[in-house]
Amino acid sequence: MRFIDEARIRVISGSGGNGCVSFRREKYVPRGGPDGGDGGKGGDIIIQADSQVSSLYDFHFRQQFKAQSGITGKGKKQAGRDGRDVTVPVPAGTIIRDAATGELLRDLDRHGERYIAARGGKGGRGNSHFATSTDQAPRRAETGAPGEEKNLFLELKLLADVGLVGLPNAGKSTFISKLTSAHPKIADYPFTTLSPNLGVAESPDRLVNYVIADIPGLIEGAHRGEGLGIRFLKHLERTRILLLILDLSSPDPEDDYQVLLGEITAFGQGLPEKPRIVALNKIDLEEGRGKKAAVEKALKRKKVKTFPISALTGEGIQGLADYLLGMVQKKSDHGRV
């Protein structure tokens, strides 16, 4: 399934059913009073966060959702049946905005959270409600209220504990495939990852897990939309921890770190304040091993926690995984690291 993180939809709730004009028609009751029932309520359109849904891809094929209208009331004061609601599942982390104004309507950031996007119209009252001392046989009833129609803009921002950040071909996809159950496309060329990947990492005893998000590689100017840019940087906003992956075999890993830090800082949105650690990848390569000590020393001066690893061979990954698990648990317990 393709990863789609934006969609526009139209939602139309059901109209209320009309009230009924009716009079009692019983044997031996020649002048039966009004007994028209009320119309049923129109169905709502409900948008609900569902952890089983991972993308807004399905909205590429269906953009309109319409609920059932209420049924007209009947005689003998029988109310019409309410229209059925329509529930629209979206991934947890979906933001709902008014498509015309951009107004934020709801942020569905937890599984099961619901938002009534369009309320069904109220059913009209039957003529049994309108009898008075001067009009004991009213021949009027209310028309059901119309439903609501809205155009909405859906935007998905992934929910994850750890967000991977790196330049193209730094080894993020290899790392996440080694550490988690995710199976991203991996190849030796830039921008292998064209959409975010989510993976679940488990503790050794399998009692605790945490989610890692791998976003496409950044390039200088990403915060302005260069490369795959801003569209994917936004997915880091909801992560708790940033894990920067540096390629030690690149010409200047320290400069690569400054590029990543610059993009995070320029994008803002709370990213610069997030805890971050650095994985020094490709220590299995000769040029990587040769630069490891110098890069570690340079980043230590900046008070940056580093972990030399090889995403390819797995060297150093368990130590990094244990540290990440401790950070996630600490943040879960105390709200901060």
The per-residue pLDDT string of the chain (337 residues; one tens digit each, 9 = 90 and over) reads 455 678 999 999 999 999 999 998 776 656 678 999 999 999 999 999 998 887 888 898 999 999 999 999 999 999 999 999 999 999 888 999 999 999 999 999 889 999 999 999 999 999 999 998 888 889 999 999 999 999 999 998 877 888 888 888 888 878 888 877 554 443 333 333 445 667 777 777 766 677 888 776 665 554 444 444 456 677 788 888 999 999 999 999 999 999 999 888 888 878 899 999 999 999 999 989 999 999 999 999 999 999 999 999 999 998 998 898 888 887 665 544 4
- List Cβ neighbours of 332 (8 Å cut-off, separation of 6 or more): none
pLDDT confidence of residue 229: 43
Q: Maximum Cα–Cα distance for the chain, whole Å?
A: 106
Q: How far apart are CA 256 and CA 254, in angstroms?
A: 5
State the SS3 of the chain. Answer: CCCCCEEEEEEECCCCCCCCCCECCECCECCCCECCCCCCCCCCEEEEECCCCCCCHHHHCCCEEECCCCCCCECCCECCCCCCCEEEEECCCEEEEECCCCCEEEEECCCCCEEEEECCCCCCCCHHHCCCCCCCCCCCCCCCCCCCEEEEEEEECCCCCEEEEECCCCCHHHHHHHHCCCCCCCCCCCCCCCCCEEEEEECCCCCCEEEEEECCCCCCCHHHCCCCHHHHHHHHCCCCEEEEEEECCCCCHHHHHHHHHHHHHHHCCCCCCCCEEEEEECCCCHHHHHHHHHHHHHHHHCCCCEEECCCCCCCCHHHHHHHHHHHHHHHHHHCCC
Rg (CA), the chain: 29
Distance CA 237, CA 153 (A): 19
Task: Give domain limits for the chain.
Answer: 1-156, 162-334
Domains 1-156 and 162-334 share a fold: no
Sign of CA pseudo-dihedral 43, 47, 53, 57: positive
Q: What confidence score (pLDDT) does residue 199 get?
A: 75
Q: Which pLDDT score is estimated for 20?
A: 97
> Tokens standing for 132?
């008075």
pTM of structure: 0.71
Which homologous superfamily is 162-334 in? P-loop containing nucleotide triphosphate hydrolases (3.40.50.300)
Whole-number pLDDT of residue 222: 46
Handedness of CA 213, 215, 217, 219 (dihedral sign): negative
Classify domain 1-156 by CATH number.
2.70.210.12
Contact by Cβ (8 Å): 241, 163 = yes
pLDDT in the model for residue 228: 47
- Rounded to whole angstroms, the Cα distance separating 66 from 309 reads 52
Tokens of 4: 């789609």
